[in-house]
Amino acid sequence: MPNRVGAVIWITGLSGAGKSTLGHLLWNALKEAGQPALYLDGDVLREMLGAVDAHGPEQRLALAHTYGRMCKVLAEQGAVVVCSTISMFHAVRRWNRDHIPGYVEIYLKVPLDELVRRDPKGLYAKGVNMQGLDLPFEEPEAPDLVIDNFGATAPDQAVNLILDHLKGHPS
């Protein structure tokens, strides 16, 4: 049997940018299309790894590297992994791009004032250990696709943008 290498679709952006919503919708669309898709959410992974309170810069960086390595292992087993995570570190995204065949980076770009307005988890109101507020974030240098995820772009439209991009992306 031939080896099948999967892919990793890394959806990144700040808290409240819509990563989980788009990740779930994309995962469902891929499954409906017959892809061996898996979905990993940064919040769920953080809880699973016992790192709910790990919000310092070094802890965030270590978690993001862990997510990347986990995605790599799953993709090597043939899965199409959709991973929704803040992981706003150049070092993580560079490692992913260098080590994960089929890596596709999607950046959900939303202005900070819109993120503060949305604040679905109440994190911006607390304002402690928040990337984009009191912690710096490294905006992606070369994402494969940037989606301005505010205003007129509905979640289904954003998923279609990703799917259209994936059709033209070499596996």
User: Which positions are annotated as active-site residues?
Assistant: 87
Is the separation of the CB atoms in 105 and 78 below 8 Å?
no
DSSP 3-state percent helix, strand, coil across the chain (nearest 5): 45, 15, 40
CB count in 10 Å sphere of residue 121: 11
Gap between the Cα atoms of 131 and 121, Å rounded: 14
3-state secondary structure of 43: helix
92-111 b/e with 16+ CB inside 10 Å = b?
A: bbebbbeebebbbbbbbbbe
Amino acid letter for position 99 = H
| Runs of H (alpha helix) within 80-168 | 90-99, 112-118, 123-126, 155-167
